[in-house]
Amino acid sequence: LYFGYAKSWWKFRNEPNVLLMHYNDMRKDLRGGVKKIAKFVDVELNEEELDRVTEKCGFDHMKKIQDKFNYLLWGNDQFKSQVMCGTHYCRSDKEGSVIQKGKVGSGKNFFT
């Protein structure tokens, strides 16, 4: 599911309206990644705003609010428990969160 989606976008990676970011790079330099995204979308951030955005994008903060990232994959028996989350269905437990371990390379264990 994910790899087919990512592969479909690969041919557009050099288009001027596409920004391809790598998780490993963001883990090494989150602040630099935030700056790169801000520049790409033509948003100027002062130092205080940059600090705040970087903190909110950090793994520790995301882990604290992981219930906001729960999801449901329709048609997948693994996701039988459905709960309304705003305007969409999501899982009722944390197993369906897109927040994983936050370690570089840990995706190979999740996706295999």
Q: What is the Cα–Cα distance from 38 to 40, expressed in whole angstroms?
A: 5
CB atoms within 10 A of CB 99: 16
Whose tokens are 């197993």? That residue is: 95
Residues pairing with 84 in the sheet: 89
Note the pTM of the prediction, 2 decimals: 0.62
pLDDT average, residue stretch 69-82: 53
Q: Is the pLDDT of residue 112 over 60?
A: no
DSSP 97: B
| pLDDT per residue as tens digits for the range 14-65 | 999 999 998 889 989 999 999 999 999 999 999 999 999 999 998 888 888 8
Q: Cβ(72)–Cβ(43) under 8 Å?
A: no
